[in-house]
Amino acid sequence: MPRSVDAEVVVIGGGPAGMAAALSAWEWGARRVFLLERNPHLGGILNQCIHPGFGLRLFGEELTGPEYAERYIEALEKTRVEVLTDTTVLEVGGDRHVVAVNREGVWIFRARTVVFAVGCRERTRGMIRLPGTRPAGIFTAGCAQYLVNIEGYLPGKRAVILGSGDIGLIMARRLTLEGVRVEAVVEILPTLSGLLRNYVQCLLDFRIPLLLSHTVLEVLGKERVEGVVVGRVDEKGNPVGEKRLLPCDTLLLSVGLVPESELLKKSQIPLCPSSGGPFVDEDFACDVPGFFACGNVVGVFDLVDYVTESALRIGRRIGENEGHTPPRFILSPREGVATLFPQRIRRGKDGFLYVRPKEGLRKARLSLIHNGKEFHSLTFPLCRPGEMVRLDLAQVSWPEEEGEVQVVLRGEKHVDLL
Amino acid sequence: MKVYDVAIVGGGVVGCAIAWYLAHCSLDILLLEKREDVCCGVSKANTGILHSRSYWTPGTLKGEMHLRSLSWFERAFRELGLSPLRCGALTLAFSREEARYLEVSTKSEETSAEAAILSPKEVLAIEPRVNPEIYAGYFDPETMVVSPFALTIALAEGAALNGVEIHCGKEVIALESSGRFLRICCSDGTAYHARFLVNCAGASAVRLAQNLGDSLPSLSFFRGQYFVLDRECQGFVRCVLYPVPTEKSKGILVAPTPEGNLLLGPNFEPTQGEDTATTREGLLEVERGVQRLVPDVPLDRVITTFSGVRPALPERDFLIAFSPSLPCVLHLAGIESPGLTACFGIAEYVGELLARRGLPLRERNDFRFRVPSRAFRECSLEERERLIREDPDWGKIVCRCEEVTLAEVKRALRANPPARTLDGLKRRIRVFAGRCQGSFCGMHLPRILESEGGIPVHGLQKSGPGSFYVLRRDEVATYAEVR
């Protein structure tokens, strides 16, 4: 029979979010804390991110992904959090039973609290319906990053990168340094999708062309990619104007990330249509009592520091054990906002609101509106879809009356990079 | 020198079905496939529908083979260890004219006993997501769906289990007849000897016939493009949903699959040779066609697109005929839809034709049924526990989307015929076939295939020669050299 285990907290996923959540649960007094990770090592995607740039906000120094992960792995070693690696969770029930398998067998954890820290996955060729042939040589950027940085292989000799997300930009530089010719980074939007610093450090410094308002219209090649047809697109993404052939043997896709919310769906946790992840409050508690979610399964963060920061809030909430009260405010994304989280506010005393702008704006103003009245705002000279706006909830004085809060981003529209 | 009784050229569904059928008799059978694996051509990309008798075409060889095949289904599923999806089909009419077609087709003598014309209300009771503008529907309970890979590979494995030799990477280029037997020459210089040759080379059948000295009418190719939707869409529709067919094709349909995905397509367009590219226009056509049947079809859940090619003769019928020049060579050409459905009937018919020319068909008493490999994702918790206790590799998930374990990868590598490429693995155990399309398992599989299958990472191929997956660092110039 499958082995049954009573647990106070089960954290699913041993990346930055799960490690921080398990650690904070332990530090706030939880015992019988289990951290389940499907890979042989903790750290998640950080392990393949061998470039620096992590930890600037949290530690004030520039770490590589593995170095950043190591800090939390070491911290966990000082606790008695039970880490089960090579362990895959298959199912989570609404009654908080967690079914996992590893080489020892099937495990059923009966948990008081379940934390989903299962991250996100990359959008694929099928999801963007990229037409053409189906040869070898098409990789998501993260998959290629693993193959290069962990396995030590190269995806090809000559690459085109579709999408200017951060992993794509990082891989443009990485492949160039490995001797692969990166012909271009092609972005369907009129603006960069990733962080500006990645554009400067990964493309400009290596003179890799960035083709904005362009996309790959067709993949060519029978057995292996032989080239891609690239063309200009209008605002709706429809091809306009001339096309050209870029010969290459490799196409990397960096066309967005989506929360891996499949496990949550099975346990009937309500999901937010704009983020793709669960609705959460400022402590990252889901709408169903006893469930939390943190990190990129909630919505895709652009800095790991924010992932850690958000996940570290979970422990206190579990420790205080104050019960599951209905939220006082429901935040909904409106004009200028692509997505936001948390979408619920219970106390409103601390924590952060993360807002993803829909488009590039100059002289931007983020407004919180209740009953038609702006009760809090934040202004900044520039915002871009590639960089989240982060609002300190401790600064907000919330209205007396509970209810819906509309979150609006307004400003002068601009599509330039800088 | 070994002389086979029958050499079958082509490891598609027809070739494999013939091999499996003939393996019921005491014969030495050889199957030659030019690609690296079976199921790499026409058979790999179609809807996988097993059409019921309601959809047969009277007065054609296609129709005759289709009807013959029906009586084989249950026996074949049992012997091959296959479980088709017994979902039934609804043909949807949106006008009085279209409804008239339904009436005509039900008058045929061969329709299923339980088939019936339904009112809009009845249609919507079965399939609430059908376009409410429906005029009438025709329900056929006997339609089934299989995975075309699963069927073809099961036939190949069932054949191999009973002694059929399957040799991949063998392209037949010439034939010499010495009177008593044929000498079959392959492009890699190898040669085989056989008494009979059956040409089931699919898209290459006419070319092969020409190489052997026979002229067959030339094939034209029709392409059909498809969307595959996430397994989470399972249950969105229960039946196969057809439009009323046209002269040319069965139309753009919606089909549930045994794996839980939803298949949308195909459109129907002439194409050059075996061009299996998808196009923006073709996919849009599929989108519009499907939305006419089920307006709310969740097109945001597309996980991949593909297209399949159907090789057709000018008459749009199957051709199964002996070579005029070599009496022991049998050609099969133009096996388009419903070729998958008809494969058992074709195999039986081919057996009869060969018997008439002297092939002794003596049924053996030691024929072995294929025991299918378990799929971890289909097991209960207790079964999973038991499997892991027997072999801990069942507890290592290598593909999270389809919940495929290391044990299944190892079995696919050791199967007969074995998976040697990423596509071969995908067709056998569904790695790379889930919602991440190999973004995750594509990281870890190369190392596993190296250690468990003896396939070096830098020699790993997606689908055969030229389709390399990655390169070694020393195969690429260094940064300094590029600068």
Which of A121, A179, A180 comes nearest B436 by C-beta? A121
Q: Each residue of A348-368: b (16+ CB within 10 Å) or e?
A: beebbbbbbbebbbeebbbbb
Active site residues of B: 51
Query: For position B63, what pLDDT does the model report?
Result: 96
Chain A nearest-CA distance from B275, in A, is 8
Nearest chain B residue to A265 by CA: give it: B232
Same fold, A1-122+257-324 and A124-255: yes
Residue the block writes with tokens 């097109």: B299
Query: For position A137, what pLDDT does the model report?
Result: 98
Chain B nearest-CA distance from A87, in A, is 7
Write out the two tokens for A361: 């704006």
Query: Within chain B, which residues score under 50 in pLDDT?
Result: none
Which of A122, A131, A222 comes nearest B279 by C-beta? A131
Query: For position B297, what pLDDT does the model report?
Result: 97
Contact check, Cβ <8 Å, A223/B397: no
The mean pLDDT value for A128-154 works out to 97
Contact check, Cβ <8 Å, B385/A2: yes
Determine the residue among A103, A128, A257, A265 to mutate to test chain B binding: the one whose Cβ has the most chain B Cβ atoms within 10 Å. Answer: A103
Chain B nearest-CA distance from A172, in A, is 13
Looking at the structure, do residues B321 and B305 belong to the same domain, yes or no? no
Is residue B38 within 8 A of residue B152, CB to CB? The reply is yes
Answer whether residue B70 is part of any domain.
Answer: no
Query: For position B103, what pLDDT does the model report?
Result: 83
Contact check, Cβ <8 Å, A131/B400: no
Looking at the structure, do residues B130 and B231 belong to the same domain, yes or no? yes
Give domain limits for chain A: 1-122+257-324, 124-255, 325-418
Chain B nearest-CA distance from A58, in A, is 29
Among the listed residues A398, A267, A260, A382, the one whose alpha carbon sits nearest the alpha carbon of residue A329 = A398
Which of B381, B464, B466 comes nearest A106 by C-beta? B381
* Integer-rounded Cα radius of gyration of chain B: 23
Chain B nearest-CA distance from A388, in A, is 25
Rounded to whole angstroms, how far apart are CA atoms B266 and B278?
11
Count Cα atoms within 13 angstroms, Cβ side, for B149: 18
Query: For position B427, what pLDDT does the model report?
Result: 97
Which of A151, A181, A262 comes nearest B447 by C-beta? A151
Helix axes B441-453, A141-149, angle to 10 degrees: 40
**Per residue in A316-374, pLDDT tens?**
999 987 777 899 999 999 999 999 999 999 999 999 999 999 999 999 999 999 999 99
Find the CATH number of the domain harbouring B227. Answer: 3.30.9.10
Measured between beta carbons, the chain B residues lying within 8 angstroms of A121 are 435-436, 439-440
Helix axes B148-161, B339-356, angle to 10 degrees: 30
Domain total of chain B: 3
Contact check, Cβ <8 Å, B436/A262: no
Nearest chain A residue to B280 by CA: give it: A131
Which of A88, A102, A132 comes nearest B277 by C-beta? A132
Q: Which helix (H) or strand (E) holds A184?
A: strand A181-186
The residue with greater pLDDT, A393 or A323, is: A393
Angle at A220 between CA A217 and CA A135, to 5 degrees: 115
Looking at every residue in chain A, the average pLDDT score rounds to: 96
Q: Each residue of B413-447: b (16+ CB within 10 Å) or e?
A: bebebbbbbbbbbbbbbbbbbbbbbbbbbbbbbbe
Fold of A124-255: FAD/NAD(P)-binding domain (3.50.50)
Looking at the structure, do residues B324 and B251 belong to the same domain, yes or no? no
Longest dimension (CA), chain B: 76
Contact check, Cβ <8 Å, A126/B437: yes
**Per residue in A76-100, pLDDT tens?**
999 999 999 999 999 999 999 999 9
Chain B nearest-CA distance from A99, in A, is 9
Query: For position A417, what pLDDT does the model report?
Result: 62
Is residue B320 within 8 A of residue B329, CB to CB? The reply is no
Looking at the structure, do residues B195 and B255 belong to the same domain, yes or no? no
Looking at the structure, do residues B442 and B431 belong to the same domain, yes or no? yes
Is residue A409 within 8 A of residue A361, CB to CB? The reply is yes
Answer whether residue B57 is part of any domain.
Answer: no
Nearest chain B residue to A90 by CA: give it: B403
Answer whether residue B282 is part of any domain.
Answer: yes
Looking at the structure, do residues B206 and B347 belong to the same domain, yes or no? yes
Query: For position B109, what pLDDT does the model report?
Result: 61
Looking at the structure, do residues B226 and B346 belong to the same domain, yes or no? no
Looking at the structure, do residues B103 and B224 belong to the same domain, yes or no? yes
Measured between beta carbons, the chain B residues lying within 8 angstroms of A224 are 466-468
Looking at the structure, do residues B200 and B236 belong to the same domain, yes or no? no
Looking at the structure, do residues B206 and B333 belong to the same domain, yes or no? yes
Domain A1-122+257-324 sits in CATH at 3.50.50.60
Query: For position A241, what pLDDT does the model report?
Result: 84
Answer whether residue B58 is part of any domain.
Answer: no
Measured between beta carbons, the chain A residues lying within 8 angstroms of B381 are 2, 99, 106, 108
The mean pLDDT value for A128-135 works out to 97
Measured between beta carbons, the chain B residues lying within 8 angstroms of A219 are 277
Measured between beta carbons, the chain B residues lying within 8 angstroms of A140 are 439
DSSP letter at A136 equals: B
Measured between beta carbons, the chain A residues lying within 8 angstroms of B396 are 86, 102-103
Measured between beta carbons, the chain A residues lying within 8 angstroms of B384 are 2, 101, 106
Looking at the structure, do residues B231 and B126 belong to the same domain, yes or no? yes
ipTM exceeds 0.90: yes
Answer whether residue B478 is part of any domain.
Answer: no
Contact check, Cβ <8 Å, B439/A122: yes
Q: Which domain holds residue B250?
A: 89-141+220-312
Confidence tier at A124 by pLDDT (50, 70, 90): very high
**Per residue in A37-63, pLDDT tens?**
999 999 999 999 999 999 999 999 999
Helix, strand, coil % over all residues of chain B, rounded to 5: 35, 25, 40
**Per residue in A222-239, pLDDT tens?**
999 999 999 999 989 899
- Between the CA of residue B50 and those of A324, B141, B289, B352, what are the distances in Å? 52, 12, 21, 23
> H-type helices in A110-194, by residue range?
141-149, 166-177
